[in-house]
């Protein structure tokens, strides 16, 4: 889309749900979007959005928090329906739903006592997947936003996301600048954990720009973090196109090295009443298959059923689509998951004919909110959807080139020039 890239100035548009985006000047935006009387560079549009959204009414905060509680509520509902069923397998350790949520509630109470609640931002740093799951759930159960810093550069992620507390395993290795221990507890594996704060300070006032609890995961290649809301993850509880799972089934991610893939697997397993089985040891050199330039990840999900059968599916997605968007079929063709829309568009945002190549855009229920504290980047990558099923819908500009195939399937084209 050379014409789009070469343009320097854009008009600002807003949807009925108060999502902001940029759109080419002089071109009518899609249905459900209206033009804001402001135009300029993406950076200038970002500053304008920050000014417009900087003040959030208390009623808006309360309403947003009430909406997101549905994720924790659904997780608790699954646990309440089968408290003695296995929830988490890790090496020789097997935790029931009752035991897992007892641990989560204990940590959540400790975090609340330390001042954590709606509008707060808490980072979780560690290597043990089982303990990370417990810590992340505890932060969300306390109503706060969780920054999952489980990549190769946790200290850089902590600095970039500016949390108010950092949860880390006890002992050496805590991020620099967080010497004050506010709480101590045992994780789900029995390992000692701590909530650390800055010396001489208390937990700051709630962040008005973060009224809704969310999960944030820094991207590996830079300091940018994607933001997921609970409403995205609750989609995984239903008929979302992933293999069916339920009580007595065991869900496995063969190589759960990517924190985002792990978060999706946790949500799918615990929302459906299955047991999530994690490998006790991370294989040397293991990792999901990710295109470093485009950000596309391919990973496998396996369900071992209580009846003895098994299903395994290969999936692909972007961090911006919560790691799920399509199933990889034989020959490498991609078939979108239910309710997901894949657009291959030309320079004028029109669909290319079957067999032709264009730029790939994605839309659907797993589309993330955007990037943490980066309104200009969010507006540049999350655009109004001209082919959206609903007015005001958005699409994600992947930076990949793809070919439309018959039967609503797609194939990525090698050597895409990105954005």
Q: Write the pLDDT tens digit of every residue in 16-55.
A: 878 888 888 888 888 889 898 888 888 788 878 877 765 4
What gap in Å lies between CA 226 and CA 197, rounded to an integer? Answer: 24
**Which position has the token pair 């509880």?**
237
For the segment 78-130, what is each residue's pLDDT rounded down to a tens digit?
A: 888 899 999 999 888 899 999 999 999 999 999 999 989 888 899 999 888 89
**DSSP output for 37-76:** EEEE-HHHHHHHHHHHHS---HHHHHHHHHHHHHHHHHHH
The torsion of the CA quartet 253, 255, 259, 262, rounded to 10 degrees, works out to 10
Task: List % helix, strand, coil for the chain (3-state, nearest 5).
Answer: 25, 30, 40
In the structure, what pLDDT confidence band is assigned to residue 297 with cuts at 50, 70 and 90?
A: confident
Mean pLDDT computed over every residue of the chain: 82
Q: For the full predicted model, state whether its pTM sits above 0.75.
A: yes
What gap in Å lies between CA 54 and CA 20, rounded to an integer? Answer: 13
Most trustworthy range by pLDDT among 16-20, 156-160, 332-336: 332-336
Please report the pLDDT score of residue 124 as a whole number.
94
Contact (Cβ atoms closer than 8 angstroms) between residue 254 and residue 344? no
Average pLDDT over residues 186-215: 71
The more confident residue out of 37 and 209 is: 37
Residue 99 has φ and ψ, to the nearest 5°, of -65, -40
What gap in Å lies between CA 23 and CA 20, rounded to an integer? Answer: 10
Q: Is 328 helix (H, G, I), strand (E, B) or coil?
A: strand
Q: Does residue 253 surpass a pLDDT of 60?
A: yes
Distances (CA, A) of 184 to 113, 138, 166: 12, 14, 12
From 114-118, 211-215, 226-230, the region with the lowest mean pLDDT: 211-215
Q: Of 324, 327, 337, nearest to 261 (Cα)?
A: 324
List own/partner pairs for 101-105 with CB under 8 A and 24 or more apart. 101/76, 103/134, 103/187, 103/188, 104/134, 104/137, 104/138, 104/141, 105/138, 105/141
In the structure, what pLDDT confidence band is assigned to residue 239 with cuts at 50, 70 and 90?
A: confident
Distances (CA, A) of 60 to 16, 33, 57, 65, 210: 15, 21, 5, 9, 11
């Amino acid at each position: 889309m050379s014409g789009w890239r070469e343009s320097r100035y854009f008009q600002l548009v807003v949807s009925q749900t108060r999502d902001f985006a940029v759109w080419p000047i002089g071109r009518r935006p899609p249905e459900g979007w209206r033009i804001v009387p402001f135009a300029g560079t993406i950076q200038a549009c970002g500053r304008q959005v920050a000014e417009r959204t900087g003040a959030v009414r208390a009623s808006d905060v309360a309403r947003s928090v009430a909406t997101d509680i549905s994720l924790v509520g659904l997780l608790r509902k699954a646990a309440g329906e089968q408290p003695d069923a296995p929830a988490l397998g890790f090496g020789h350790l097997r935790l029931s739903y009752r035991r897992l949520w007892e641990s989560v509630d204990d940590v959540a109470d400790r975090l609340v006592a330390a001042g954590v609640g709606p509008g707060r931002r808490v980072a979780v740093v560690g290597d043990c997947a089982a303990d990370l799951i417990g810590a992340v759930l505890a932060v969300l159960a306390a109503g706060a936003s969780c920054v999952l810093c489980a990549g190769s550069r946790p200290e850089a992620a902590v600095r970039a996301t500016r949390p108010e507390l950092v949860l880390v395993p006890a002992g050496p290795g805590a991020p620099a600048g967080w010497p004050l221990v506010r709480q101590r507890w045992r994780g789900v594996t029995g390992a000692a954990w701590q909530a650390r704060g800055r010396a001489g300070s208390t937990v700051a006032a709630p962040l008005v720009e973060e009224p809704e609890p969310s999960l944030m995961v820094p991207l590996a290649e830079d300091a940018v973090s994607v933001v997921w809301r609970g409403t995205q993850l609750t989609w995984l509880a239903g008929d979302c196109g992933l293999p069916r799972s339920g009580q007595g089934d065991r869900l496995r991610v063969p190589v759960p090295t990517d924190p985002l893939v792990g978060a999706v697997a946790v949500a799918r397993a615990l929302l459906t009443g299955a047991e999530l089985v994690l490998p006790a040891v991370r294989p040397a050199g293991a990792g999901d298959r990710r295109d470093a330039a485009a950000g596309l990840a391919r990973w496998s999900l396996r369900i071992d059923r209580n009846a003895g059968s098994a299903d395994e599916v290969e999936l692909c997605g972007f961090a911006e689509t919560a790691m799920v968007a399509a199933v990889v079929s034989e020959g490498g063709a991609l078939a979108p998951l239910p309710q997901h829309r894949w657009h291959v568009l030309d320079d004028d945002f029109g669909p290319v004919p079957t067999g032709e190549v264009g730029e790939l855009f994605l839309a659907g229920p797993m589309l993330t909110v955007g990037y943490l504290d980066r309104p200009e980047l969010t507006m540049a990558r999350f655009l109004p959807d001209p082919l959206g099923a609903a007015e005001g819908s958005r699409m994600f500009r992947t930076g990949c080139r793809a070919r439309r195939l018959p039967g609503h399937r797609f194939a990525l084209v090698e050597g895409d020039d990105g954005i």
